[in-house]
């Protein structure tokens, strides 16, 4: 819980409850859409939403993170179902994936998330924000062919994110546009400073007003010819005829396949990808947290592992912490993990008792809520801020954004990370030492000052400089500031000592004391001089 909440878990109920309602409304169609995109039973998505809300948040120490089925795993789930042959065998793999995640948490593997640079994390948030907006615009105009949980550029229906905008123009529904515009107007109004000062606006959040009005519009349009909303334009939750029928929708893993090696291959894949998505979401959520609280990542992996064991045992999809739901929680004013817990309870109770009411909510209402969430993640100010920080920050940021938009979440993050690493390598190529060729004066010694840490990554840069030293010159290689010099660098200098004679280059070494530098070549200076 929040540091300010003390021992009372309900100290921020006035903030957490409205936020949980918003997260619940955002999560339900995503749970169903991801299940649809995964080729799994629709109810499995609902189960994962419940497990992510109740089980994971009860164990996790993430104050604002929300867990559930993730779009990034949909392709893996789809292929795994085909490979394993049945949903029950797949559930066994989910259980084992959870066990692996618990072992990763115990092994302190959560530190991996801290190796992702801030530029990539910000690019991930911005890219997801843009994707959310682009994916929800068709729903706001009445074109609901796209599955709600599909966040990839190349969609499962064969279309792309941008081609859907073209098809949308051919299917604009005036009744849906009316709901979308009014919903957006309400959400924008609720963001104004004068509205935030009103007591009613603090209790009743804009998204809740939007959903209630959406249901009222749906009912009102039924009496207007040509304005009725069909099932494609509404939320769709499986409706059970009775409580006993509801419980019959739960599925159990097939433990007879415990010796099937393919189960373990799928389990390892799910555990690795789900853990990575979770750690990235944790890092991003902590950055968005107004109180800047830090989530214990090892504890988070254990919580996710328990969640996946639970989901696998009762028929759910694998769960991860999900940035879309987490950011919706933050933007809606959530303060503690109670909001995530309550959203899980709401999903369970609504699926049991009021699925018919939920099925009256227009997708346009949810689209308006998500468009505002997306805009808050992808504010133009973020682009300006990253640009001012220079190429080293802006390039990985923009590559991550474009990668997510034109591929998917994991590929986009990988591209951003690779670009960041390439920039580091380029800097290592240029700056492992100090030597300005333009300052060279004929007849004067050339001094190359090595930096504090010279690694094998600096090989190319040092070789390039040594190879381009002018003939008949004198070079001083100064390692007095270096704390560590990799043996590969010593070999390069050693080899240069051999060729320097033929080029009539006199070389002097300073600071190459093996004991001082803790390098494995104690007699390095003597060896070079021999040649």
pLDDT in tens, 302-350: 999 999 999 999 999 999 998 888 988 998 889 999 999 999 999 999 8
Same structural domain for residues 23 and 160? yes
Same structural domain for residues 354 and 469? no
Same structural domain for residues 354 and 440? no
Query: What span, in angstroms and rounded, lies between the C-alpha atoms of 317 and 73?
Result: 9
CA dihedral in degrees (90, 327, 33, 241; nearest 10)? 90
Same structural domain for residues 300 and 446? no
* pLDDT for residue 7: 64
Average pLDDT, integer, range 373-380:
84
Same structural domain for residues 26 and 157? yes
Report which of residues 400 and 436 the model is more confident about.
400
Q: Which residues pair with 433 in a beta bridge?
A: 450
Instruction: Confirm whether 211 is domain-assigned.
Output: no
pLDDT at 148 over 70: no
Radius of gyration in angstroms for the set of CA atoms belonging to the chain, rounded to a whole number: 29
Same structural domain for residues 334 and 459? no
* pLDDT for residue 308: 97
Query: What span, in angstroms and rounded, lies between the C-alpha atoms of 29 and 22?
Result: 12
Report which of residues 404 and 58 the model is more confident about.
58
Instruction: Confirm whether 192 is domain-assigned.
Output: no
Average pLDDT, integer, range 99-108:
96
pLDDT at 501 over 50: yes
| Residue pair 309/105 in contact by the 8 Å Cβ criterion | no
Instruction: Confirm whether 182 is domain-assigned.
Output: no
* pLDDT for residue 179: 95
Number of structural domains in the chain? 2
Token pair listed for 159: 């279309």
Instruction: Among 359, 380, 401, give the residue marking a domain's end.
Output: 359
Token pair listed for 512: 């190459």
Instruction: Confirm whether 224 is domain-assigned.
Output: no
Instruction: Confirm whether 269 is domain-assigned.
Output: yes
Question: 84 to each of 79, 92, 266, 411, how far by Cα in Å?
Answer: 9, 10, 9, 25
Question: pLDDT tens digit string along 224-243?
Answer: 988 999 888 888 777 877 78
**For 154-205, where are the alpha helices, taking DSSP H only?**
161-169, 174-190, 193-196, 199-203
pLDDT band at 447 (very low <50, low <70, confident <90, very high): confident
Same structural domain for residues 140 and 288? yes
**What DSSP character marks residue 256?**
G
Instruction: Confirm whether 212 is domain-assigned.
Output: no
pLDDT band at 287 (very low <50, low <70, confident <90, very high): confident
* pLDDT for residue 450: 81
Instruction: Confirm whether 198 is domain-assigned.
Output: no
pLDDT band at 271 (very low <50, low <70, confident <90, very high): very high
pLDDT band at 439 (very low <50, low <70, confident <90, very high): low
Please state the φ and ψ torsions of residue 446, each to the nearest 5 degrees: -95, 125
3-state secondary structure of 173: coil
CATH of the domain at 498: 3.30.750.24
Report which of residues 2 and 150 the model is more confident about.
150
Token pair listed for 103: 């072992």
* pLDDT for residue 515: 44
Instruction: Confirm whether 99 is domain-assigned.
Output: yes
Query: What span, in angstroms and rounded, lies between the C-alpha atoms of 67 and 278?
Result: 9
Same structural domain for residues 161 and 38? yes
Residues of the chain with pLDDT > 90, as a percent, come to 34
Token pair listed for 431: 């700056």
Q: What is the SS3 assignment for 345-393? A: HHHHHHHHHCHHHHCCCEHHHHHHHHHHHHHHHCCHHHHHHHHHCCHHH
pLDDT band at 389 (very low <50, low <70, confident <90, very high): confident
Same structural domain for residues 309 and 439? no
How many other β-carbons are positioned within 10 Å of the β-carbon of residue 366? 25
CB-based burial of residue 56 (10 Å sphere; 0-12 exposed, 13-18 middle, 19+ buried)?
buried
Ramachandran region of residue 504, left (φ > 0), alpha (ψ -120 to 50) or beta?
A: left
pLDDT at 514 over 70: no
Query: What span, in angstroms and rounded, lies between the C-alpha atoms of 493 and 463?
Result: 8
Query: What span, in angstroms and rounded, lies between the C-alpha atoms of 452 and 444?
Result: 25
Of the candidates 139, 40, 185, the residue with the CA atom closest to the CA atom of residue 361 = 139
CA contacts within 13 A on the Cβ side of 401: 20
* pLDDT for residue 517: 42
Q: How far apart are the first and last CA of the chain?
A: 67
- Helices (H) and strands (E) in the chain — how many of each? 25, 8
Question: 438 to each of 27, 36, 263, 467, how far by Cα in Å?
Answer: 61, 63, 62, 16
Report which of residues 92 and 22 the model is more confident about.
92
* pLDDT for residue 327: 87
Domain span at 118: 13-173+234-359
| Residue pair 195/209 in contact by the 8 Å Cβ criterion | no
Same structural domain for residues 261 and 169? yes
Please state the φ and ψ torsions of residue 154, each to the nearest 5 degrees: -90, 105
pLDDT at 51 over 90: yes
Question: pLDDT tens digit string along 66-82?
Answer: 999 987 687 788 878 98
Instruction: Among 359, 384, 405, give the residue marking a domain's end.
Output: 359
Token pair listed for 358: 């939920």
Of the candidates 105, 23, 102, the residue with the CA atom closest to the CA atom of residue 64 = 23
How many other β-carbons are positioned within 10 Å of the β-carbon of residue 441? 7
Residues of the chain with pLDDT > 70, as a percent, come to 89
Same structural domain for residues 329 and 437? no
| Residue pair 122/378 in contact by the 8 Å Cβ criterion | no
pLDDT at 526 over 60: no
Instruction: Among 313, 329, 359, give the residue marking a domain's end.
Output: 359
Q: Which helix (H) or strand (E) holds 208?
A: helix 206-221
Q: Which residues pair with 68 in a beta bridge?
A: 320
Query: What span, in angstroms and rounded, lies between the C-alpha atoms of 184 and 134?
Result: 15
* pLDDT for residue 147: 63
pLDDT at 184 over 90: yes
Of the candidates 432, 76, 406, the residue with the CA atom closest to the CA atom of residue 272 = 76
pLDDT at 424 over 60: yes
Same structural domain for residues 129 and 241? yes
Please identify which residue in the block is written with the tokens 């948040």: 57
Q: Which residues pair with 474 in a beta bridge?
A: 506
| Residue pair 81/75 in contact by the 8 Å Cβ criterion | no
Report which of residues 164 and 526 the model is more confident about.
164
pLDDT band at 527 (very low <50, low <70, confident <90, very high): very low
Query: What span, in angstroms and rounded, lies between the C-alpha atoms of 162 and 153?
Result: 8
Query: What span, in angstroms and rounded, lies between the C-alpha atoms of 320 and 329?
Result: 16
């Amino acid at each position: 819980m929040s540091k300010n909440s003390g021992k009372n878990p309900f100290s921020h109920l006035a903030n957490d409850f409205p936020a949980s309602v918003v997260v619940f409304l955002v999560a339900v169609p995503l749970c169903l859409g991801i299940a649809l995109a995964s080729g799994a039973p629709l109810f499995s998505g609902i189960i994962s939403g419940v497990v992510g809300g109740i089980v994971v948040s009860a164990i996790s120490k993430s104050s604002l993170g929300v867990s559930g089925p993730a779009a990034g795993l949909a392709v893996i789930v789809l292929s795994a179902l085909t490979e394993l042959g049945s949903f029950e065998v797949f559930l066994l793999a989910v259980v084992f994936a959870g066990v692996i995640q618990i072992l990763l948490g115990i092994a302190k593997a959560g530190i991996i998330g801290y190796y992702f640079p801030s530029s990539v994390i910000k690019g991930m948030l911005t890219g997801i924000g843009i994707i959310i907006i682009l994916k929800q615009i068709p729903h706001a105009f009445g074109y609901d062919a796209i599955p709600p949980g599909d966040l990839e550029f190349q969609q499962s229906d064969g279309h792309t994110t941008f081609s859907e905008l073209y098809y949308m123009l051919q299917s604009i529904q005036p009744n849906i546009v009316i709901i979308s515009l009014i919903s957006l107007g309400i959400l924008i109004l609720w963001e104004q400073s004068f509205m935030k000062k009103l007591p009613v606006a603090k209790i009743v959040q804009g998204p809740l007003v939007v959903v209630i009005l959406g249901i009222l519009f749906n009912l009102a349009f039924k009496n207007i010819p040509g304005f009725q909303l069909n099932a494609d334009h509404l939320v769709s939750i499986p409706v059970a005829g009775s409580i006993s029928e509801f419980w019959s929708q739960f599925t159990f893993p097939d433990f007879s396949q415990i010796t099937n090696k393919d189960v373990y291959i799928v389990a390892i894949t799910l555990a690795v990808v789900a853990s990575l998505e979770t750690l990235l979401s944790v890092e991003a959520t902590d950055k968005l947290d107004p109180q800047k609280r830090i989530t214990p990542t090892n504890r988070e992996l254990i919580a996710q592992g328990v969640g996946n064991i639970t989901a696998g045992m009762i028929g759910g999809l694998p769960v991860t912490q999900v940035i879309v739901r987490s950011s919706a929680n933050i933007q809606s004013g959530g303060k503690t993990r109670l909001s995530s817990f309550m959203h899980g309870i709401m999903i369970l109770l609504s699926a049991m008792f009021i699925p018919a009411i939920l099925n009256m909510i227009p997708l346009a209402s949810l689209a308006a809520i998500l468009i505002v969430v997306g805009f808050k993640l992808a504010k133009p100010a973020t682009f300006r801020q990253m640009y001012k920080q220079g190429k080293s920050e802006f390039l990985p940021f923009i590559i991550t954004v474009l990668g997510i938009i034109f591929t998917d979440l994991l590929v986009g993050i990988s591209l951003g990370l690779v670009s960041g690493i390439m920039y580091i390598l380029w800097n290592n190529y240029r700056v492992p030492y100090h030597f300005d060729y333009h300052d060279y004066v004929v007849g004067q010694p050339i001094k190359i000052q090595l930096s504090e840490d010279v690694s094998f990554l600096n090989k190319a840069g040092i070789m390039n400089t040594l190879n381009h030293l002018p003939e008949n010159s004198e070079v001083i290689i100064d390692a007095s500031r270096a704390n560590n010099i990799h043996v590969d660098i010593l070999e390069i200098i050693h080899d240069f000592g051999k060729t320097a004679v033929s080029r009539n280059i006199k070389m002097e070494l300073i600071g190459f004391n093996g004991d001082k530098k803790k390098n494995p070549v104690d007699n390095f200076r003597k060896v070079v001089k021999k040649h």
